Amino acid sequence: METFYSLYPTIKQSHLLFIGLSVLLFMVRFALHLKQSPLLDKKLMKIAPHVIDTFLLLSGVTLCFMIKQYPGVDPWMTEKIICVISYILLGIMALKSNRNKLFKFFAFIGALGWLVLAAKLAHFKQVVLMG
């Protein structure tokens, strides 16, 4: 079990890397979406987000077990999950909705705002919404 916990720095850095890759890819996909670029139809652009986000989720769940803090139990973690879900929903609206570009732009900015709040919660571990 000691070996499991000694991997914490590696898991945390991996999680941060997957966050960065996921956000960068979201921003690139949004820009390509606004340009209606055919690059979005490439297999890599369709598969990469799912692969990155799967590893992001796995590393996040692993970190929850390592620090023994869980959504539904620890308020900051519950809020962080709410932020992540909001980020995902607004990201879907920004990339997939049949709305105009202004709506999609505001959905994109809103998604990034929820992501910033999730980062703040992860760093300070203090509730913002439910406090």
Q: Do 78 and 118 contact (CB within 8 A), yes or no? A: no
Residue 97 contacts by C-beta under 8 Å, 6 or more apart in sequence? 103, 104, 107
- C-alpha count within 13 angstroms, C-beta hemisphere, residue 101: 7
Q: Do 122 and 87 contact (CB within 8 A), yes or no? A: no
Output the six-digit token pair for 53: 């986000």
Average pLDDT over residues 79-108: 96
pLDDT value for 3: 81
Asked if the model's pLDDT at residue 1 lies above 90, the reply is no
Where residue 131 falls among pLDDT bands split at 50, 70, 90? Answer: low
Average pLDDT over residues 16-27: 98
Average pLDDT, the chain: 94
Q: Do 115 and 83 contact (CB within 8 A), yes or no? A: yes
Residue tagged 């970190």 (tokens): 63
Percentage of residues of the chain with pLDDT beyond 70: 98
In this structure, how many other beta carbons lie within 10 angstroms of the beta carbon of residue 61? 12
pLDDT value for 4: 77
Give per-residue pLDDT as tens, 31-77.
Answer: 999 999 999 999 999 999 999 999 999 999 999 999 999 999 999 99
pLDDT value for 5: 81
